[in-house]
Structure formats: C-alpha cells, structure tokens
Amino acid sequence: MTQKMYVYDGGEIDLSLVTRLYPAALISAGGESAQVSLEWAEMKKEQVTLEAYVLICDFDPVGEVPVNRVEIRFETKDELFGAMSKISTIVQS
C-alpha cells in the first residue's frame, strides 16, 4: 500500500494506516473534560466550555478498543475543516 502522508505541526501521519478518522470537540463541563460530537458541542454551547477541536486518527482494527491513537488539536472549526479537506485530497490522490 502506498504511503499517503499528512504533515501537521506535531508530526506526520501515514493515512494508509488509519482505520478510523473523525472530528470531535473537546469540552469542559463540571470540572471534567470529554470528547463529544461537533453537533452536540454546538447544541450545548451555553452549558459547556469548548477547549479545542480535535481530529482523531485511530490505527487499531475496527471493532477493537482504540489504543493507538493520534489526536490533532485545532483552535477553530475552520482549521479543523481545512485539515479534513487536505486529508481528503491526499487520500483521493
């Protein structure tokens, strides 16, 4: 399989090895942090504090508990969507 590399500030990821790739919001509520869907974070924006947007890349086989994971943090949703667009272009090339 050909390597399809995504380079970001913290390193690089071989996209051909990623088994799951999804966006999330990192929120804080009641002293706890959690990753939630972007939609949920938007619906609850008055009750939670948004810490960052994250793009989660899992490398474990689908169906297994993800242990090998890279989380790339972004300050804005636009930055997250830009990274997702760039990854889409890399994967389709």
The answer to whether 45 and 77 are in contact (CB under 8 A) is no
Domain residue ranges in the chain: 5-92
Q: Give the torsion sign (CA, 86, 87, 92, 93).
A: positive
Q: Is the pLDDT of residue 54 over 80?
A: yes
Arithmetic mean of pLDDT, 47-67: 94
Report whether pLDDT(28) > 60.
yes
Band of pLDDT at residue 1, cut at 50, 70 and 90: low
Q: Residue 83: pLDDT band by 50, 70, 90 thresholds? A: very high
Contact indicator for 56, 84 with CB cutoff of 8 Å = no
The confidence score (pLDDT) of residue 86 equals 95
Structure-block tokens of residue 80: 């997250």
Average pLDDT over every residue of 67-89? 96
Answer whether residue 2 shows pLDDT above 80: no
